[in-house]
Every structure is written in structure tokens, then in C-alpha cells.
Structure 1
Amino acid sequence: MNTPASKLLLPRLWLAASVVLILIPLAVIVAALGEFDAEIWTFLLDYQLPELLKNTLLLVVGVGAGTAVLGTTAAWLTAMYDFPLRRFFFWALMLPLAVPAYVLAFTQIGLFDYGGPLNNWVRAHYGIEQFFPEIRNGFGLAAVMSLTFYPYVYLLA
């Protein structure tokens, strides 16, 4: 069975256009590899890289510890104890898998930031200026990522 050439031409044109769109950024990156600016790399190695490595290490340790504690504790409690709504929590503890980490981060900032509704409520009712701790730091990020990723440990445990 012969197919007309016009039916084969359109898919091939789409494929060629897709390949070109992918190869252009890659070609720019490969072309930039030949240019080496020692001043920029010296600045990055002296000032940026140590801070980035420290922040990354703290984030890895914080999120690893948080997910390990939350995931294994939740799994152990739902597996070993018979309490009311245990079957509900058995499934509900997997729900953070449905929410991306960036959505939880924006939600956390919206709720717990200085101008958020929870701090505004505490200020209005109790007169405490800043009730919740500052969350725009590494500890807040580690908390959000731990709350997002603990279900993976929970499922394994």
C-alpha cells in the first residue's frame, strides 16, 4: 500500500522543526564552552561556591532528617497502633504526593509570612507583633521540602 508523499511530508517537517528547536540552544551552549573567563571563575570559586555548597549541604541534611523522621514515624504509627481513623490516615498521609513542592512553598509563605493571615490574626487578637518565626530561610525551605517528600519514605517504610 502506497501512501501519498504529502502525508509523509508534514510529519517529517514537524520532526525537522523540533530537532532544529532543540539543537539551537545546545549549539549555543557548546559554542560558549570555548570561551573561558578566568576572572568570572575566580569570583565564583572565591565568593559564591562556598556559600552554595554550605546551603546545599544544610538543605540535604535538613530535608533528609525531616523526611526520615516524618515518614518512618507516620508509617510506624499507622502500622503498629489501632486508633480511630487509622485507615483514613493510612491513605491521607500519601496526599502530599499530589501537591508540587513549589505550591506548598507559596502556600507556606502566604500563610506564615509577616503579612499572612495567621500572623495578622495573632496581631489583632493578642497584640504579638511576630508570632511565627521567619520562614524565608533555609529552615523554612527544609520544612516545606520535608512535608512534600516524606510520603516517599512513608510508602517505603
Structure 2
Amino acid sequence: MNVNTIEETSSRSFRFGGPSWLTLSALGLALILAIPVFGIIWSIFQPGEGNWPHLVETVLPQYIQNSLILMLGVGLGVSVLGVGCAWLVVMCRFPGRRLFEWALILPLAVPAYVVAYAYTDVLQASGPLQSMIRDSFDLRFGEYWFPQVRSIEGAIVIFTAVLYPYVYLLARAAFLEQSVCALDAARTLGRSAWGAFRCVALPLA
């Protein structure tokens, strides 16, 4: 290959053509999907009609509080459940461990809103579970305690059950990379099983 061929090949590799129809189609689709976002941004700069002060005085503080509670509750729930399940399937030996190792990922296959609708239909007052309880014990609605499904606590449980596999996968990968020798050394130096997990395994992860 001579110098002219090398220069020609180099010039071809850095030559950019016009946008293809696929690029233009993707750009057009992205713009269409972004219309609601543009609408929200545009409405921010429009003169208000007194709606924002009314929202701030009435519902906005409660919405912010509920969002923070949901964020903290789900964060704590997925951390405990994801890390705990990852530790069990990596460090412990029990029947069915291989099955649980992959079955714990299955919640990723179902969207959160589908799980929420399903659990709400099953657990609400007119659902099959409470109807069976009333029929079995000859009770009426309000004569027995049942957790409120349509609540912030129920939302925390649903989101935790659906989102914990993300933490589980990351924690499992981190625990698989650790050496058992570090845990054995911690146990030899007097650490309990919980102490070795808290002071050695978690920091190394």
C-alpha cells in the first residue's frame, strides 16, 4: 500500500456525509416525544394566574412530604432486601440456592404500575382476600383490621418489591468478587458473623 492509498483511506474515514433517513426519523420521533416537556418548560415562563400561591398554601407541602417519605422508604427497603438477598445467595449454602439466585431477578420483568394494580385489586376491601376473610369469619367491613393498601406505606412496599433487583444484582456482583479469606480473617480475630458482614463485606463491596 503506497502513500496515496493511505491518504485516500484516511480521508474517507474522516469524511462525514449528510444525515441519513434513519437519523432524521429518530430525531423527529424524539422531538414528538419531547413535546410535553417543551410545553411544561414554556408554561413556566408564562404569567401565572395565582395558581402557584394556592398550590403552595394547600397541597404542595403534603406532596413534597409524601415524595420524601416514599424516596427514603423505598431506598431503605431496596437496600435491605437487595443486599440481604445477595448476601444469602452468595455466601450461604441451602437447598434451592441456585433457583433463588435467578428467581430473585424476576420482578424486573413486571412494571411497577402493573404490580400496583394487581395487588390493589387483590387486597382492597372488595377484593377476593378480604371477601374471603369476611365470609370465613362472618365479619363485616370495619370489624377487623387490615392494612390500608392505597397508602404511602403500600406504595413503599410495592416499589420495594419491584425495584430491589437492581440493588440485588449490584450487591451480588460485588460479593462475588470478594475473597472468603477476608471474612475468615475477621472471624478469626473475634468478629461475629454480623460484624464481619458489616465491617468487612459491606465496605469491600
Shorter-normalised TM-score: what interval? Answer: 0.7 to 0.9
Q: Would you say the 8 A contact 1:67–1:149 is kept in 2?
A: yes
Matched, 1:109 2:111: no
TM-score (norm 2): 0.62
Question: Which has the higher Rg, Structure 1 or Structure 2?
Answer: 2
2:161 alignment partner, one of 138, 144, 147: 147
What is the letter of the counterpart of residue 81 of structure 1? C
List alignment gaps of at least 5 residues for structure 1.
Answer: 1-9
Q: Would you say the 8 A contact 1:112–1:132 is kept in 2?
A: no
Distance 1:22 1:106, change over 3 A: closer
* Partners of 2:79 and 2:31 in 1: CA distance: 44
TM-score (norm 1): 0.79
Q: Which has the higher contact order (CA 8 A, sep 6+)?
A: 1
Distance 1:84 1:59, change over 3 A: same
Distance 1:127 1:80, change over 3 A: farther
Q: Counterparts of 1:14-53 in structure 2 under 5 Å?
A: 21=32, 32-37=43-48, 39-53=50-64
Task: Give a deviation string over 1:79-104, Cα, whole Å, max 9, x none.
Answer: 12111111000000000000000000
* Partners of 1:83 and 1:15 in 2: CA distance: 50
The count of residues paired between Structure 1 and Structure 2 equals 148
Aligned identity (percent) is 38
What is the letter of the counterpart of residue 103 of structure 2? A
Q: Would you say the 8 A contact 1:122–1:131 is kept in 2?
A: no
* Partners of 2:35 and 2:160 in 1: CA distance: 38
